[in-house]
Structure 1
């Protein structure tokens, strides 16, 4: 089964061309908003703006500054920084210099940072602060081709434990460390001598030239560099605009990691649409920022929606039995309303509901949903969810509450946005339809194959690995299992490699079971279902510290106790057991969770158990907590 969308022709040759066109078309329009903390460090941030013309001054300064350092077309310049406006301006500067951006998460450890810089042969690193600089100082001997480090936030760059130095380099080679402002100043001088340098460089760029090298945060082994040429992003920009997903009237709130392909594709879409983007990668500021930014659309990963849902449920429960009962009733109404209206829209083109359900929905809206929409800023037209599967029950809840979550699908190797749900016609539980110009085919074993301009050139320096997933005729093997509806909507059922086959021969999609549990239990943070080659399924369950501590305060026996004591208590085990029983009541016999263990702490990026986009690294978790898994199967006879 396959689906093909019409190809988008006449794409600009490069992202730099897109940027130049946007600056020329709307120089005085607002492009980016960014927060500046108050001088005292107390009180709310001040939000400032760049127009497209204002942004271009810094972008061209960065581009010319890199040229002055000798950076050549397609040579790599790395960025190791959290999401902030300087990340975007630096990326655009790199591209306008004809170079290619290597992305590095700021949370990446010293060893992996050095590996990525060496493997990519990056010549310059744009680092956020002294912490990122320290990582490369430690491995400088292994990075002979890294000629310069440019600091966004200079601060004190003295290595920890070393005496303060009087000069700017602290023992670094002369000129090895520059500030971003110094780079831009160099660029201004360079442009005085070579006024056509940037326009000539952009004019010479070809669509097949490398634009971005994104390293996959693989669950095993070294990360692989995914080569994405300019044409991938030019195509994505045009396809997103053609899908009708965004307009020039939108205000986007962008907090996703820009080192991840999901965050990166949002910057390409903005160049074509020309809307405003408010940029702030501080996750702990999301709740505070939403009412200030008042976005019309926002992209997020499922974990954020799960946390919001669990937070609302926990708050309602803390308000007493009556409030919690109202919330549960309203959540049920939201799900029913969403299912009915989505089905009616599918059949008739009108999102209608019976009069009785509409009346209940109106009451629930006044009591619950309106407050939830206000928390998102009050103007949210749609959210895009990607990077992992969203539990349908959570999707239906938000849909019924008037917060429309459009699930999408893509991979680093496909420039992120291969599928997205189409506006009003979205269907919760699917990832929508392919973007214009993307072809999809379902192989005999159920694997999803993709072909189109968004597909990578290959893995950097790894032809054998490339050949394993990319066919000569352009079809890319995603490793995901899915099915297409007759009208072209894709539903992902699981990762091909994550499907569990029990010793009894039954196949189980763990993500499906995990998603159902997340929709049932308001205290869960992460869950991993295990059962490959076993005769029954088990689960490792991590609980959210904030919501669990709030729950514990309501329990006479746990009130005032530390989290470490709460998490190991019989009361917590009994509470989780109740939710597991509820889950099992809706599963096939072979899917049910026979045993579980509550983990002593939450899973996190620092321990390597989650990727920076908050996806579960199953092999890492199973290795870290293997003793608990073996404990659950101890004494049982494996068939």
Structure 2
């Protein structure tokens, strides 16, 4: 395995007609399946972590808001893993691929113990999560034929019992915390047994079973993607898939981002998704530690300060919040603003020379307090789910003084497929293929994207690509072609240095009444560069000539602008102010012109909503993508009013 990172030659094209690109780090052009000989499945990876850490601390938690982290060692976790898996067998569940176990819980040690307790006996886990909604949870239980679900708290048990008449296969609920006698009685009435997590462990301790270790091609999990419309799809992920993905990451950043037993990760992104699960694998197969947040995202910064992590997986929304908080403080003083901007310029110059760190005079004088917000030890940020804006990415690299990797992947690729290089100084890209994945682009004629122009739909292939959707041959054939290529639906462009850039989305396209194709996500990505915009939903259909949009403004920027113009009032009042609306619409159009949008791609009217799109109000997916169907339903009346006004003006 080569270790050089040539920023001018980040990927290489294989000979042939398909224009396939791979990492230059692939030895003799061979795609990487695993990085460590003794970690080819997740149970092997956990045992490797125990060995290389010399039974060091593994899983950490805080009993209370003022308490320090308490730690379970690798051997303690392994003992509980074997006990829990043996306990499931005692309950009547057979080792092997025919047993599916649901996990309906926030991130915590018991989540990991359940997951490994199942896979140590070749069982398959099926994560459930709140934002799927009760109907989707019911759909998943029935599609899989699930007999047992492991829950964390009583509220989750209640949600399952509310739908018990629609989930006839469900027989047992294992719960981590105590539940009331009333809930136990309700469960009994529905012919469902409630069993405590500790009791299952105790059964396995009394009657242990030898592990039934999986093979790399065996299923690890069925990870359901929420999607923006329709029923969720169950991506079948094998042990080999997730091992390959994270092995590729290890090889990709070798010499820069190698982890040891001294490294620690903060766990707060949902374990029900492959991104968080992959990151944890990355840590434990190298003997590192994972500390869980206490479950309240508002208290996350407090947990981070106590944990002092070295590895921080993020989605752009989290980094955006950190950035906004810092900039708000910087803008409170002309002196602070001057010092901050000067320090940013100096650090950017260093990064362009390949120098990344937090030990300069600018770190001591300006950025030290910012770094202390995150515990002061962060060495690596990994971002996935959406592209980071240039200003936030530059802020993270400069002010936090650490490597920041912008990754691209999907659930169906066991998360990572491409990843920026450690010393990358440019922005607006998601890097080259990691050594465990091949990438090619294919023509999309309807959208005028052609491979000859280095543009097209991104397709992925390799040992990290999933096996298909559970019990859904039709959707599988729509996503995986006969050659084994995963069609992502994203439009990419190869940059001259061999890095990939995501420029559009194929899936969400529609025609206006004149026949013009519209890719709303491309327009939304441009409009979010406006100072006024926190979130935006661009809408159009084949019966209308124009595009309209629902805008959720950036409250702080909007109120600062309003004060500068002598406008007063609450956020709700500003959102209803015509002067504000005209200013935002004008700025959006200008952003569109600057970025080369055609006239028919510009919105003609907007509605400003003071309510942010969020997971909690159902307007975003758990991976922070907007739910288009739900947004259209929620703002149907406002959309109709905008079109009525526009049509009256013809």
- Normalising TM by the smaller chain, what interval? 0.7 to 0.9
Corresponding residue to 1:48 among 70, 95, 109: 70
Q: Residue deviations 1:494-541, cap 9 Å, x none?
A: 2212356666777665445534544542x6432223456565544321
Corresponding residue to 1:314 among 328, 337, 357: 328
**Equivalents in 2 of 1:131, 1:547: separation in Å?**
38
2:394 pairs with 1:399: no
Correspondence list, 1:32-111, <5 A: 32-37=59-64, 44-72=66-94, 73-74=96-97, 75-111=99-135
Q: 5+ unaligned residues in a row in structure 2: which ranges? A: 1-18, 24-29, 445-455
**Equivalents in 1 of 2:284, 2:316: separation in Å?**
26
In structure 1, the residue corresponding to 2:131 is in which secondary structure? coil
**Equivalents in 1 of 2:156, 2:559: separation in Å?**
34
In structure 2, the residue corresponding to 1:494 is in which secondary structure? strand
Q: 2:341: which partner in 1?
A: 330
Is the Cα–Cα contact under 8 Å of residues 392 and 515 in structure 1 kept in the other structure?
no
Residue 254 to residue 470, structure 1, CA distance change in 2 (3 Å) = same
In structure 2, the residue corresponding to 1:432 is in which secondary structure? coil
**Equivalents in 2 of 1:593, 1:135: separation in Å?**
41
**Equivalents in 1 of 2:526, 2:370: separation in Å?**
22
Residue 125 to residue 158, structure 1, CA distance change in 2 (3 Å) = same
Residue 84 to residue 574, structure 1, CA distance change in 2 (3 Å) = farther
Is the Cα–Cα contact under 8 Å of residues 335 and 396 in structure 1 kept in the other structure?
no
TM-score by length of 2: 0.83
Corresponding residue to 2:229 among 213, 217, 220: 220
Is the Cα–Cα contact under 8 Å of residues 56 and 73 in structure 2 kept in the other structure?
yes
Corresponding residue to 1:528 among 520, 537, 540: 537
Corresponding residue to 2:472 among 462, 482, 504: 462
In structure 1, the residue corresponding to 2:118 is in which secondary structure? helix
- Give the drift of 1:601: 1.4
Q: 2:371: which partner in 1?
A: 373
- Give the drift of 1:595: 2.8
Residue 485 to residue 552, structure 1, CA distance change in 2 (3 Å) = closer
In structure 2, the residue corresponding to 1:596 is in which secondary structure? strand
Corresponding residue to 1:303 among 314, 317, 340: 317
Q: 1:586: which partner in 2?
A: 594
Q: 1:254: which partner in 2?
A: 267
Q: Residue deviations 1:244-270, cap 9 Å, x none?
A: 344114221121101111111112212
In structure 2, the residue corresponding to 1:36 is in which secondary structure? coil
Correspondence list, 1:91-490, <5 A: 91-156=115-180, 158-159=182-183, 171-172=188-189, 176-191=193-208, 194=209, 197-198=210-211, 201-202=212-213, 205-243=214-252, 244=254, 245-248=257-260, 249-280=262-293, 281-317=295-331, 319=332, 322=334, 326=338, 330=341, 334=344, 338=348, 344=352, 350-351=354-355, 368-401=366-399, 402-425=401-424, 427-445=426-444, 446-490=456-500
Q: Quick check: 531-540 or 613-622, which moved more?
A: 531-540
Q: 2:9: which partner in 1?
A: none
**Equivalents in 2 of 1:582, 1:419: separation in Å?**
32
Is the Cα–Cα contact under 8 Å of residues 621 and 627 in structure 2 kept in the other structure?
yes
- Give the drift of 1:386: 0.6
**Equivalents in 2 of 1:152, 1:412: separation in Å?**
27
Q: How many residue pairs were aligned? A: 598
Query: What do you get for the CA RMSD once the two structures are aligned?
Result: 3.3
Residue 503 to residue 110, structure 1, CA distance change in 2 (3 Å) = closer
- Give the drift of 1:128: 1.3
Q: 5+ unaligned residues in a row in structure 1: which ranges? A: 38-42, 160-166, 353-360
**Equivalents in 1 of 2:164, 2:82: separation in Å?**
29
